Amino acid sequence: MRNALAGALLICAAALLVPVPAGAVAKEIIQLQRDVALLQQQVRDLQASLDKNNAVLKTLVEQSLDAVSRMNSTVSALEKSVQEAQATTNTRVDTLATQVQSLRDTVDEMTARLGRMAQQLAETQSVLQSVDARLAPPIPAPGPESAPGGSPAPASPPQSSPPSAKALYDNALRDFNGGKYDLAWQQFTDYLKYYGRSELAGNAQFYLGEIRYRQGDYQGAIAEYDKALEQYPASFKTPAVLLKKGYALLELNDRPAGTEILRTLIDKFPRSDEAQLARARLDRLGEGSPR
């Protein structure tokens, strides 16, 4: 439009330079004024159209920005929901693993009881085979010792015996499952003190680590798990000890050491239930796992 206006002006200038009749000049000038007015109107119309289009475009941009902002908020909310769901799932898996371990302990205890019953049966058979020794004449029991002066010597005070291994372990496990961790700690400690070489000693040491783990003392739990690995390496609780030690290291944000312990568990006990839990935990961490 600017070029057209410039051309019209040039025509006007040329018309002024060329000598033409006055009437013709007047007509040319009137026509030129009309053309200029038309061009000006077209320019105004074009400007109004551009302003309208710019306003529409601005509105669309603002709407797009609002949509992007809402989308970002939605994505953030979804990420938070996924993280919370993952944390809840991890907690449920750990709780289920502990419950499974308690059930396995019950089975292990029953196995130990059957072993003790078999041993008692063998001892009974041995007694029956030596019945002749029972039929021998009894040897008279010596009389009470006398203190100087002819008076009986004072009897030594009776010493209280510790509870049986079964009662002590059963009470400790019951209090552990009931959340009475301080009482369970004392009972498992007593069990190790009196029956540190029994079949369930490794279990008792493992549960000392479990008590610390449930109390949130992950460093203390690792120390107890290490005792179980060092003092009871042949215990059937070794896979569970490795699993929970790996979990405790991860809770302390020691990811390299935690994942290494879980991989060690998978390598040594690939078909155990604990190995399956370790693989699932490594997968959730994005570490992959040996199959």
- pLDDT tens track for 126-183: 444 444 444 444 445 444 444 444 445 455 555 567 889 999 999 999 999 999 999 9
The answer to whether 263 touches 289, Cβ cutoff 8 Å, is yes
Q: Is the pTM of this model over 0.75?
A: no
The verdict on 261 and 214 lying in the same domain is: yes
Nearest to 229 by CA among 261, 184, 258, 251: 261
Residue 253 domain flag: yes
Residue 148 domain flag: no
The verdict on 214 and 100 lying in the same domain is: yes
Write down the pLDDT at residue 104. Answer: 67
Question: For residues 57 and 15, what is the distance between their CA atoms, to the nearest angstrom?
Answer: 45
Write down the pLDDT at residue 99. Answer: 66
Write down the pLDDT at residue 161. Answer: 78
For Cα atoms 178, 182, 183, give the angle at the middle one, nearest 5 degrees.
70
Residue 142 domain flag: no
Question: For residues 287 and 266, what is the distance between their CA atoms, to the nearest angstrom?
Answer: 14
Write down the pLDDT at residue 21. Answer: 64
Domain span holding position 48:
2-76
Residue 36 domain flag: yes
Write down the pLDDT at residue 48. Answer: 87
The verdict on 102 and 227 lying in the same domain is: yes
The verdict on 100 and 215 lying in the same domain is: yes
The verdict on 211 and 273 lying in the same domain is: yes
Cβ contacts of 222 within 8 Å, gap of 6 or more: 209, 245, 248, 249
The verdict on 63 and 203 lying in the same domain is: no
Nearest to 250 by CA among 90, 124, 30, 142: 90
Residue 277 domain flag: yes
Low-confidence ranges of the chain (pLDDT < 50): 118, 122-139, 141-151, 153, 291
Residue 269 burial (C-beta neighbours within 10 Å; 0-12, 13-18, 19+):
middle
Q: How far apart are the first and last CA of the chain?
A: 76
Give 98-134 pLDDT, tens digit per residue. 666 667 666 666 655 665 564 555 444 444 444 444 4
Domain's final residue, options 76, 110, 139: 76
The verdict on 63 and 116 lying in the same domain is: no
CATH assignment at residue 238: 1.25.40.10
How many domains does the chain fold into? 2
